[in-house]
Amino acid sequence: MKPLAATLPFPETLPEPRQSLRVAGLFAGIGGIEEGFRQAGHHSQLLCEIEPGAKRVLEDRFPDVSIVEDVRDLPSLGDVDLVAAGFPCQDLSQAGRTAGITGDRSGLVGEVFRLVSDPATTPKWLLLENVPFMLQLERGQAMRFLTDSLSDMGFRWAYRVVDSRAFGVPQRRRRVVLLASRTEDPRTILFPDEAGPVIEERERNGRACGFYWTEGVRGLGWAVDAVPTLKGGSTIGIPSPPAIWMTDGRIVTPDIRDAERMQGFETDWTVAAQPEQPHRLGARWKLVGNAVTVPMAKWLGQALAEPREVPELTETEIVAGMRWPDAAWGENGQAWKVDRSSFPVQWERPALETFLDHDPKPLSLRATAGFLKRADQGRLRFVDGFIDALHAHHKKMSAL
Ligand SMILES: C[S@@+](CC[C@H](N)C(=O)[O-])C[C@H]1O[C@@H](n2cnc3c(N)ncnc32)[C@H](O)[C@@H]1O
């Protein structure tokens, strides 16, 4: 990352928000959106989450909020101001099956549409969150379905791809944030802030670098001074931590508690997930990997508390056959691309290595050997010294 001349400090204390919203959190997971919104002065009125471990975390962290398990059993949302729905992305994500937005699980977005069409519920805002691959899915058809459905229901919508590194955490994580309203203008929330574009760096230059040890043939997830996206699953089928090449040459994997912090949660946020088997961390990694980064939601929550003017932006109409850009808005079946980067702000971000509070574990001998084998078979190009560092690590681990 190229540092910007002026970085904004991470706002620890917030001014009294002008508007405090009542939130219904669907597909709430471990509450990344809801916790960020809470920090921005809003409050959850209803949570919906089907997975037992995630539900236990919500019960632990939001003890006063009622939780419904299955969105399909929810008759109505009642009187709320904002409906948040990071609907399941398995069908949408590159790693998953590309069954599309009408596939079994992403078909759940249909449940969101049912709930916001209920005349008894007139939320001011609808927030959808998902992986950027949703913009390319079915050559853009999935996104067209989504935006056309919103238009048909009378919503004006806007979306922006944002990167968690903008919000003070050392994790590269790009997510689409889509906001829609029948009465408000979502451009007043998503577009006023701009701190980018930020040029992606590749060279190590004395910093720790993150990568996926589970890959190595086609992808690497290389990130300078950050970890790549924490994931709920991996190419080897289980949720697993990324690896970090430390400045002293060690190859390590971070502790789950630091992964929680890389998502902006407090340490041990997910400890309630598996009370019977606290030493088995797979479930916690999965929940953390699926979550929304808390300070990203806090930024959004702050913007929702104090909407600003629609900024003057150059717009290009998006016509059939065009790729969906990284930021756009639309209404009445029409859509326009706008020039907004994935860094709306750049809150101060600690170096990856100093961010780690807990001793990381050395990458195991087996994992290192597997990675080196894949790297040898593939055609990826690595930065100078990286493969040598892995060989040195392998030698050290073999000697133990
Ligand atoms: C991408 S995750 C959302 C993560 C969440 N935003 C967070 O910060 O942790 C999607 C969630 O939808 C939940 N889910 C899937 N099907 C559901 C259903 N029918 N009813 C309620 N929740 C469901 C999954 O268990 C999963 O936790």
Q: How confident is the model at residue 121 (pLDDT cuts 50, 70, 90)?
A: confident
Determine whether the shortest distance from the Cβ of 48 to ligand 1 is under 6 A: yes
Q: Is the CB of 193 under 6 A from ligand 1?
A: no
Q: What is the pLDDT of residue 194?
A: 98
| 53: nearest Cα among 230, 236, 276, 264 | 276
29 touches ligand 1 (CB under 6 Å): yes
3-state SS assignment for residue 387:
helix
- List Cβ neighbours of 65 (8 Å cut-off, separation of 6 or more): 44, 45, 46, 47, 58
Predicted local distance difference test score (pLDDT) of residue 8 = 45
Fold for domain 22-198+292-338?
Rossmann fold (3.40.50)
What pLDDT band is residue 277 in, cutting at 50, 70 and 90?
confident
**Percent of the chain's residues with pLDDT above 70:** 90
Structure tokens at 150: 């919103």
Q: At what angle do helices 32-39 and 294-305 cross, to 10 degrees?
A: 50
CB 2: neighbour CB atoms within 10 A?
8
Confidence band (pLDDT; 50, 70, 90) for 4? very low
pLDDT digits (tens, 9 = 90+) for 219-274: 899 999 999 999 987 655 567 899 999 999 999 999 999 999 999 999 999 999 98
- How many whole angstroms from 271 Cα to the centroid of ligand 1? 18
- Please determine, for residue 90, whether its predicted confidence score (pLDDT) is greater than 90: no
- pLDDT of residue 44 exceeding 80: yes
**Domain residue spans of the chain:** 22-198+292-338, 209-289+351-398
- What is d(CA 6, CA 26) in angstroms, rounded to the nearest whole number? 37
What is the pLDDT, as a whole number, of residue 107? 72
Q: Tell me which residues are annotated as active site.
A: 89
User: Is 227 in contact with 170 (CB distance < 8 Å)?
Assistant: yes
Return the residue matching tokens 């790549």. 228
pLDDT for 82 beyond 60: yes
Ligand 1 atom nearest the C-alpha of 292 is 8
Residue 92, pLDDT above cutoff 70:
no
20-29, 167-176, 179-188, 215-224: the lowest-pLDDT one: 215-224
9 has pLDDT over 80: no
- The pLDDT score that the predictor gives to residue 40 is 97
Count other Cβ atoms within 10 Å, centred on residue 103: 18
Q: Is the pLDDT of residue 105 over 60?
A: no
CB atoms within 10 A of CB 322: 12
Task: Name every residue whose Cβ is closer than 8 Å to that of residue 348 and which is 6 or more positions away in sequence.
Answer: 7, 8, 9, 10, 168
pLDDT over 80 (residue 173): yes
40 in Cβ contact with 264 (< 8 Å) = no
Q: Residue 361 corresponds to which tokens in the numbers above?
A: 């574990």
The order of strands in the sheet holding 209-211 is 223-224, 209-211, 243-245, 251-253, 361-362
SS3 state of residue 183: coil
- Across residues 89-108, what is the average pLDDT? 55
At 288-325, the pLDDT tens digits run 999 999 999 999 999 999 999 999 999 999 998 899 99
Residue 3 has pLDDT above 90, yes or no: no
Q: Which atom of ligand 1 is nearest to the CA of 89?
A: 1
Which among 261, 257, 249 has a CA at the least distance from the CA of 281?
Answer: 257
- Residue 48 CA: nearest ligand 1 atom is 21
Q: CB within 8 A of 372, min separation 6: which ones?
A: 216, 387, 390, 391, 394
What pLDDT is attached to residue 142?
Answer: 83
- Would the pLDDT of 280 be above 60? yes
| pLDDT recorded at residue 110 | 87
Collect all residues with Cβ–Cβ distance below 8 Å to 199 and sequence separation of at least 6. 1, 2
User: Ligand 1 in contact with 51 (CB < 6 A)?
Assistant: yes
Ligand 1 pocket test, pick from 23, 26, 27 with the greatest ligand atom count within 8 Å of Cβ, gives: 27
Residue 71 Cβ < 6 Å to ligand 1: yes
Ligand 1 within 6 A of CB of 291: yes
Mutation test of ligand 1: which of 50, 77, 89, 92 has the most ligand atoms closer than 8 Å to its C-beta? 50
- Determine what percent of the chain is predicted with pLDDT higher than 90: 77
- Kindly give the number of the ligand 1 atom that is closest to the alpha carbon of 84: 6
Name the residue with the closest Cα to ligand 1, atom 10.
88
Tokens 């079946």 — which residue? 333
Note the pLDDT tens digit of each residue in 348-377.
999 999 999 999 999 999 999 999 999 999
